[in-house]
Structure 1
Amino acid sequence: MTNIAVVQTKMASPAVPGFEFDEKADLEQSPAWFLDATHSVPPWTPLFGWFWINFCRHGMQYGAEKLSLPTVKGWDWRFKNGGGYLTVMLVKTEAEQLEREKRFRVTIRPFIENYDGLWRSQLDEILALYEDLKKLDLDKASNIELLDNFEQTINVCRRMWEVHMYMMYGTFTGYILFENMCRELIGIDDTHPLFHKLIAGFDNKVLQVDKRIWEFSQKAAKLGLADIILRSESADIAANVEAAPSGHGFMAEFRAFLNEDGWRMQRMSEMNMPTWIEDPAPPLTNLKQFLVKGGGFNLEEEREKISKEREAAEKEVFAKIAPEQKGWFTTVLRLAQKSGIFSEEHDHYLDLYTHAMMRRSALGIGRRLVSAGAIDTLEDIFFITPEDIRKVAINPDQYKLQPSVVSRRAEWQEWCKTPNPPVILREGFDMDQAMAMLVKSNDPIALKVVVGSMPVVRAELNADLHGTCGSPGVVEGLARVILSEDQLADVQPGEILVTATTSPSWTPVFSFIKGVVMDRGASLSHAAIVGREYGIPVLMNVFVGTQKIKTGQRIRVDANMGALYILDK
């Protein structure tokens, strides 16, 4: 009988072929490459990095071209040590800018004329694609069907990023236009408290999910489950509640809620951790925190106040504007006010949901590869690439991917030990020139989400740290330094959160903290938007807050002035 040779892979190939950072070639193409610290810190696993670099890159160029943005053609992306590095693609000639501007006046109209209808149509398309993916029973499917589902997932990811960036560029360009008008007509920008009041006080899907969890906390209290939840560690809440007489029905209802809105992971930009559907501990921890806090859902209480402040701010601003300018100013304001809504809703419906679909498909294939001996553990799937999957998926018993997995996992572990530099510059090109390049691009995502404004150091303030205002206010309290999502259960009511960045998984803690200090952030980043809705100060782009501040120190945050004081030295 002829023995069948089992193929063993050699050294692992690049995680993202064609897009690995090449210092010589890429610095010739562009003098500045910025680390996307909002999404790729800590470093991505190889499989997730492949998806992000390929399709976020594609989506940004797609959105910029579909809208014909006058000054920028989107971003180019590279993968380096688990980090995503980006550079803006400038429109190079004035003649081309003028031509693109003519087209842009047409392409932006749907956003101005029927924003809600446009977003709804895009959303319906994506949600239908998710339902198609979920129809396949991954454990009963054939290998061919599993591979087909994976290829469909790739296509859904590609389409998601097209919708994502078309909507984001259109919406956030409106925000930029409004900020420019505010500078010109009333002398304020989007770091000014008055500007923040003009765009705050709106509901969105992420906040609605938080409210549902709060409602479950109230129901748990009525059913006599509160003491069980409060005494339980996060990982034990589900089992302990299930064991209670009234707990089984409660958990059945809670899981039904998760089956609708739990297609998300604690980290927004990865796929190597369980979804809420797989592990309900994170949302149950949020529920527990609501019980600890007690009282009503204070976002609703706060929104009425913030909505009144917005109406007053609009009256104040309109009084300063000439009658002939009010019409267009109002139109652009209404589009800018959609920015916070879209920023949070796209996280829920696009990024988080798609990444959950990617994880679902990958785990289905992973279980099959483990069974066939092609990989050793289910988590190994995150250390291979789609090229590997395409090669082995139909006949996994013929392959051994362990050498590639070992090599890539070792690389990833090294990446996690050494942070990527925030920017890679061509020799002779400095940071001021790099920031000028971003400003020239007028790219709303770079300026308002990923990079943001640089803090202005004002010596007369005698502050320990400086940042930019994401949400106005002044607050003093004890700091709680949180470096990852799995530490969120440690946050206590009344503390000031100090972190690198935040995402929708962090939103519930905003209901009981006093303020936020972020190493990175911009006006349309998650913490700034949610901080404005909760009426708490947010200080961003402090850069070294998580290094200089320790949990338990008393700090004073003056977001209005962009200043932070460490009171316990």
Structure 2
Amino acid sequence: MTDLHEYTAYTYNPDIDMEETQYWILCAEDTPPSRPRTPMSDWFFQNCANWGAAYAAEKFPIPTSKNVMFRSHNGYTYMSVIMPKTELATHYRSNKFKESLDFIINNYIHIISTEKQQLLQKAEKIKHYQFDKATYTELSKILDERVDATKQMYGTIFFLNQGLGTIYNLFQDLCENMLGITSSTATFQNLLLGASESFSGIEQELQTMAQKAIDLDLVSELCENKPEDVISKMKKSDKGQTWYQSFSAFLHTHGWRSVATNDYISPLWLEKPSIPISHIQKFAGSKLQSVPNNEITDAIQDRKNLQDALLKKVPIGQKEWFETVMQIARAFAAWKHEHKQYCEILQTAITRHALLQIAHKLEDSGGIQQSEDIFFMVPEEVQKLIYSAGTSNQNLTVSQRRTIWEENKKFIPPPLFSKVAPDQAAYLLLKTKNPIAMELALGMTTTIATKNELGLSGQVASQGIAEGVARVVLSQEELSEIKGGEILVASTVGPNWSTVFPLIKGVIVEHGGMLSDAAILGREYKIPVITNVNSATDIIKSGQTIRLNANSGNINILQALENKRLLVVDDEKDIIDTIEELLPMCEITRATTFEKAVELLNSKTFDVTILDIMGVNGYKLLEIANNKGFISIMLTAHALTLEDTVKSFREGAAYFVPKEKLSDLSDILHDILENKQKENIFWTHWYDRYAPLYEKRFGHGWQNKHKEFWEIFKKNEY
């Protein structure tokens, strides 16, 4: 096989592939823009993943979908799903589906354990294989074994994703329909906390190496040198030698991982120790998030208490089934994180190592010019060189393919190839109810199926609120640029990105679901995560101050709030303290009495005043602020009534905020100041934000009491 472009039979061909299905969606989590696979990696994925998807479809047939398929376009992966064409086919699949469901419910623990053990054994063989003594035919066999191992890996991944994922989706439906709990709520997310008791192994080991440098008084040697120079500096002292011995042991165990898991071309930590050292440096110089064992134990106990409380609300006849499904959903959540350590991370590293060892022998015989050339070939071409004992060569093909790959990095892959409109493609995908497809395309379906009217926002994957400096990361290689306390903004987060989670305050990603790496890591490290944020890496820039509210899913760029002068008037000092914590970028002046507030309003200038209604005569202060031309927000707990809401807006307030929604203040101020610049009405999003709260507080039809006002209000014409 020598075709430079069609080195795999799974190269996307619209004339053929559009006959099988009506759409092909970019798997942006696997191959984001600027990260096309090299030919070898692409061949391995396309051949092995398509085999694995077909295997999963046979073992666990979903009635609404027949098979997931993958294609390659310029090194980027696209996915589609074939659906059963007849009712008879659907009926047949339904019967087999029930049998498969029973099988996986009864055997999933054994399946996970067996597959893990087999893959680990195959990896150990390669780790200890004496490649320097291997014959050409033995190398050929090793290459075949890596193909088989990769097929087994994808077969396991897709089978369990399809089987356990279906049960997980069922659990989501049960929680929502039976208990009114959606997957974006803290209650649902807490049910999955502590699922992985072996969580954060590599992060803990990196922190241990950082702490060892601190204990040995080696922080300057570690942190004041370039990562690639640290080892040579450490070897110059006895204490440094002690640290280096520990680091060597660390590499021996944990060095079998690369920066990227979607391509064999990225170096392993074993090959380039400066990669883990750069993480250790950051850990030694930063205040870290951590997941101590006692916190994991507490999370498990909290989860058990929550589980017991929820089970009391489940009808007696469904409790056993609900509990079974819940346990499997939790096991699935744990497996989603853990399997990547011995599947994608380890197997990628092992295959790279095997390919490089084969390449060294081919390089010695002149079959290729340098070892990394093997990544621009495919297995058949490597086997051809092996069978000729390296006497033929692939140098021209390699050179041309490398040039094409470099060009593909600049290519912007379309998010969708489709015969139908984007929203129809999203509908067809959702209709399949296939967990594999839903996960791979999640984010794309959200983007093309819905439009968010409130601006930059997404799906809540781990609750919380964070403010900080944004760090936009477009590739794994840029992870080293992250500093402690920053907010990570990325197209996607892979399993190897876990090393930065102890450092950061929050995460915003364009692609990923509730069981993505970003979501799982965020919940375990108790940092807020918002996924499926369309165009986040284009809109947000590194260095901007941003606020992500992973309770509402909203994100604000806070440049509009920098150094803004605020007067906060409230007779409760702790409220003012809270506002200062929420708005550290603003210059806040405090007043706890009406008299002090009047004095400040008459002597100073403010961009916004935040006024309590009760206790400080808020309406009189609003009148004074209006006369001074200051924008005002009314803040209240005791005066949360329909009458005070209407009165505040009628008397000129820019916003009316219940104190229980204090956390919304930066979002609201951002809206107000942006609307002022655009000369728009201030309270554009008030109704969107607080109508559900008012519905709960004042009952259905609460708008009818001031019907004319609310009709005009909602039209932004008042």
Same fold per TM (> 0.5)? Answer: yes
Q: Does 1:495 align with 2:482?
A: no
Which residue of structure 1 lines up, in the alignment, with residue 15 of structure 2? 24
Using a 3 Å threshold, how does the CA distance of structure 1 residues 296 and 411 change in structure 2: closer, same or farther? Answer: closer
| Structure 1 residue corresponding to 2:204, chosen from 211, 223, 229 | 211
Which residue of structure 2 lines up, in the alignment, with residue 244 of structure 1? 237
**Shift of the alpha carbon at 1:37?**
0.8
In 2: Cα distance, 1:232 partner to 1:74 partner:
52
Q: CA RMSD in A?
A: 2.3
| Structure 2 residue corresponding to 1:381, chosen from 374, 382, 391 | 374
Look up the SS of the partner of 1:400 in the other structure. Answer: coil
Maintained 8 Å contact 1:204/1:344: no
In 2: Cα distance, 1:11 partner to 1:118 partner:
40
Using a 3 Å threshold, how does the CA distance of structure 1 residues 433 and 458 change in structure 2: closer, same or farther? Answer: closer
Look up the SS of the partner of 1:44 in the other structure. Answer: coil
Which residue of structure 1 lines up, in the alignment, with residue 7 of structure 2? 15
| Structure 2 residue corresponding to 1:89, chosen from 82, 89, 98 | 82
**Shift of the alpha carbon at 1:231?**
1.3
Which residue of structure 1 lines up, in the alignment, with residue 195 of structure 2? 202
Maintained 8 Å contact 2:458/2:531: yes
Which residue of structure 1 lines up, in the alignment, with residue 709 of structure 2? none
Maintained 8 Å contact 1:449/1:525: no
Please show how residues 307-456 of structure 1 align to structure 2 within 5 Å: 307=300, 309-426=302-419, 429-452=420-443, 454=446
| Structure 2 residue corresponding to 1:129, chosen from 116, 122, 134 | 122
Of the structure 1 ranges 236-245 and 20-29, higher mean CA displacement relative to structure 2 is found in 236-245
In 2: Cα distance, 1:64 partner to 1:255 partner:
44
Maintained 8 Å contact 2:289/2:502: no
Which residue of structure 1 lines up, in the alignment, with residue 457 of structure 2? 466
In 2: Cα distance, 1:82 partner to 1:10 partner:
16
In 2: Cα distance, 1:218 partner to 1:77 partner:
45
| Structure 1 residue corresponding to 2:168, chosen from 169, 172, 175 | 175
**Shift of the alpha carbon at 1:281?**
2.2
Look up the SS of the partner of 2:356 in the other structure. Answer: helix
- C-alpha deviations, 1:195-232, integer Å up to 9, x for none? 21221223355612222222222223222333211112
**Shift of the alpha carbon at 1:389?**
0.6
Of the structure 1 ranges 27-36 and 367-376, higher mean CA displacement relative to structure 2 is found in 367-376
**Shift of the alpha carbon at 1:342?**
0.9
- C-alpha deviations, 1:24-83, integer Å up to 9, x for none? 111111111011111112100011000001101111120221123333233111111011
**Shift of the alpha carbon at 1:503?**
1.6
Which residue of structure 2 lines up, in the alignment, with residue 5 of structure 1? none
Look up the SS of the partner of 1:502 in the other structure. Answer: coil
In 2: Cα distance, 1:78 partner to 1:446 partner:
13
In 2: Cα distance, 1:132 partner to 1:238 partner:
29
Which residue of structure 2 lines up, in the alignment, with residue 226 of structure 1? 219
**Shift of the alpha carbon at 1:531?**
0.6
Using a 3 Å threshold, how does the CA distance of structure 1 residues 167 and 258 change in structure 2: closer, same or farther? Answer: farther
Q: Does 1:143 align with 2:136?
A: yes
- C-alpha deviations, 1:371-392, integer Å up to 9, x for none? 2222222221111111211111
**Shift of the alpha carbon at 1:296?**
7.7
Using a 3 Å threshold, how does the CA distance of structure 1 residues 407 and 314 change in structure 2: closer, same or farther? Answer: same
Using a 3 Å threshold, how does the CA distance of structure 1 residues 116 and 280 change in structure 2: closer, same or farther? Answer: farther
Gaps in structure 1 of 5+ consecutive residues: 1-8
Using a 3 Å threshold, how does the CA distance of structure 1 residues 206 and 82 change in structure 2: closer, same or farther? Answer: farther
Of the structure 1 ranges 524-533 and 187-196, higher mean CA displacement relative to structure 2 is found in 187-196
In 1: Cα distance, 2:294 partner to 2:84 partner:
46
In 1: Cα distance, 2:290 partner to 2:149 partner:
36
Which residue of structure 2 lines up, in the alignment, with residue 547 of structure 1? 538
Look up the SS of the partner of 1:246 in the other structure. Answer: helix
Of the structure 1 ranges 184-193 and 429-438, higher mean CA displacement relative to structure 2 is found in 184-193
Letter in 2 for 1:488: L
Using a 3 Å threshold, how does the CA distance of structure 1 residues 304 and 535 change in structure 2: closer, same or farther? Answer: farther
Letter in 1 for 2:424: Q
Using a 3 Å threshold, how does the CA distance of structure 1 residues 431 and 109 change in structure 2: closer, same or farther? Answer: same
Which residue of structure 1 lines up, in the alignment, with residue 65 of structure 2? 72
**Shift of the alpha carbon at 1:135?**
4.0
**Shift of the alpha carbon at 1:416?**
0.4
Maintained 8 Å contact 2:290/2:525: no
Look up the SS of the partner of 1:374 in the other structure. Answer: coil
In 2: Cα distance, 1:553 partner to 1:259 partner:
39
In 2: Cα distance, 1:260 partner to 1:97 partner:
48
Which residue of structure 1 lines up, in the alignment, with residue 614 of structure 2? none
| Structure 2 residue corresponding to 1:511, chosen from 502, 513, 518 | 502
Letter in 2 for 1:438: L
The count of corresponding residues between Structure 1 and Structure 2 is: 555
Of the structure 1 ranges 97-106 and 21-30, higher mean CA displacement relative to structure 2 is found in 97-106
In 1: Cα distance, 2:298 partner to 2:466 partner:
18
**Shift of the alpha carbon at 1:405?**
0.9
Gaps in structure 2 of 5+ consecutive residues: 561-718
**Shift of the alpha carbon at 1:544?**
0.8
- C-alpha deviations, 1:325-364, integer Å up to 9, x for none? 2211111011111222111112110112111121112111
- C-alpha deviations, 1:67-102, integer Å up to 9, x for none? 233332331111110111111122333433333333
- C-alpha deviations, 1:97-122, integer Å up to 9, x for none? 33333333333345434543331111
Q: Does 1:525 align with 2:521?
A: no
How high is the TM-score relative to the length of structure 2? Answer: 0.73
| Structure 2 residue corresponding to 1:285, chosen from 272, 278, 288 | 278
In 2: Cα distance, 1:537 partner to 1:304 partner:
21
Using a 3 Å threshold, how does the CA distance of structure 1 residues 296 and 563 change in structure 2: closer, same or farther? Answer: closer
In 2: Cα distance, 1:559 partner to 1:144 partner:
56
Maintained 8 Å contact 1:517/1:538: yes
In 2: Cα distance, 1:35 partner to 1:242 partner:
48
Which residue of structure 1 lines up, in the alignment, with residue 248 of structure 2? 255
Look up the SS of the partner of 1:387 in the other structure. Answer: helix
Which residue of structure 2 lines up, in the alignment, with residue 4 of structure 1? none
Moved over 6 A (4+): none
Maintained 8 Å contact 2:508/2:536: yes
Of the structure 1 ranges 103-112 and 218-227, higher mean CA displacement relative to structure 2 is found in 103-112
Using a 3 Å threshold, how does the CA distance of structure 1 residues 84 and 296 change in structure 2: closer, same or farther? Answer: closer
Using a 3 Å threshold, how does the CA distance of structure 1 residues 223 and 336 change in structure 2: closer, same or farther? Answer: same
- C-alpha deviations, 1:271-301, integer Å up to 9, x for none? 1011122222222222222212246834546
Using a 3 Å threshold, how does the CA distance of structure 1 residues 287 and 321 change in structure 2: closer, same or farther? Answer: same
How high is the TM-score relative to the length of structure 1? Answer: 0.92
In 2: Cα distance, 1:214 partner to 1:402 partner:
44
Using a 3 Å threshold, how does the CA distance of structure 1 residues 86 and 458 change in structure 2: closer, same or farther? Answer: closer
Of the structure 1 ranges 390-399 and 38-47, higher mean CA displacement relative to structure 2 is found in 390-399
